[in-house]
């Protein structure tokens, strides 16, 4: 299932590039916080005329919660997300099984979008990317394999690989998201263009949901060495 998710994300992006429909796909299938919030009765501080002009008229907002996590805004956006999914997703899927993993992944992505929507309610820019769902995978990995060794290369600073425990790597990553998210809290649009609160929401969802989705481990705990570049 992890390979299937990787393939779908890559295929959608290739289609966007080949068909030259990147902006249209993002507009049609990304989550617009103001539109979704308006459909949920949260009353974003956006003029009604603007909502009518921007928001879809076919109740697509709820479908976009799912479609948005398979759309990416550029090569760097896609590659960065797929590296994390490739490294951490297979181990998490091993502990859940294929169908459970898919359901877990989608729920984390939806929760991530809802958290981002709630904390940036007036945003009219479509939000896309798999990072919220992948953040959930990171949260699950942290619970399952906190002391697994992750091989890291920090480019362009360090070219020699070194190992760090997952709890350190993922913990530092989460703190970075939290600090950045708190710094942009209350802004209508994130100045960096990064949905920090989607990462935070997805990560916390993963921390919680893993206890309901994981299967009992047979054969005892096994160490896991991963590579991250």
pLDDT bucket at 110, cuts 50 / 70 / 90: very high
Q: What does the pLDDT average to over 93-105?
A: 96
All structural domains of the chain: 2-228 (1.20.1540.10)
146 in Cβ contact with 165 (< 8 Å): yes
Q: What is the pLDDT of residue 186?
A: 60
CB 214 within 8 A of CB 79: no
Whether the upstream peptide bond of residue 182 has omega within 30° of 0, thus cis, is no
Average pLDDT of the chain? 88
What's the gap between Cα 69 and its chain centre? 7
- Say how far apart CA 80 and CA 73 lie, in whole Å: 12
**pLDDT bracket for residue 159 (50, 70, 90):** low
Spatial contact of 229 and 83, defined as CB atoms under 8 Å apart: yes
Instruction: Give the C-alpha separation, 25 to 78, whole Å.
Output: 15
- pLDDT recorded at residue 221: 43
Q: State if pTM tops 0.85.
A: yes
Q: What is the pLDDT of residue 184?
A: 78
Sequence-distant (6+) residues with CB within 8 A of 136 are 104, 105, 107, 108, 109, 111, 112, 202, 203, 205, 206, 209
Q: 3-state class of 183 per DSSP?
A: helix
Q: Which residues are catalytic?
A: 131, 199
Write out the H or E segment, with its range, that includes residue 70: none
* pLDDT reported for residue 149: 87
For 204-229, write each residue's pLDDT tens digit.
Answer: 999 999 999 998 876 544 444 444 44
pLDDT for the residue numbered 223:
44
- Give the pLDDT of residue 161: 76
């Amino acid at each position: 299932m992890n390979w299937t998710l990787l393939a779908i994300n890559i295929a959608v992006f290739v289609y966007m590039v080949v068909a030259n429909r990147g902006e249209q796909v993002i507009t049609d299938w990304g989550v617009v916080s103001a539109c979704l919030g308006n459909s949920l009765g949260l009353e974003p501080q956006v003029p009604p005329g603007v909502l009518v002009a921007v928001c879809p008229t076919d109740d697509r907002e709820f479908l976009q919660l799912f479609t948005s996590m398979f759309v990416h805004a550029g090569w760097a956006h896609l590659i960065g997300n797929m590296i994390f999914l490739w490294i951490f997703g297979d181990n998490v899927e091993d502990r859940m099984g294929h169908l459970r993993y898919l359901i877990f992944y989608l729920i984390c992505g939806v929760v991530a979008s809802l958290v981002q929507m709630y904390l940036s309610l007036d945003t009219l820019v479509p939000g896309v990317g798999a990072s919220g769902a992948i953040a959930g995978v990171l949260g699950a990995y942290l619970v399952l394999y906190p002391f697994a060794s992750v091989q890291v290369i920090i480019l362009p600073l360090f070219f020699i690989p070194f190992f760090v425990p997952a709890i350190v790597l993922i913990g530092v990553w989460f703190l970075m998201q939290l600090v950045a998210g708190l710094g942009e809290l209350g802004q209508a649009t994130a100045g960096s263009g990064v949905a920090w609160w989607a990462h935070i929401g997805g990560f916390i969802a993963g921390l919680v949901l893993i206890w309901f989705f994981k299967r009992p481990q047979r054969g005892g705990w096994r160490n896991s060495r991963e590579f991250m570049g």
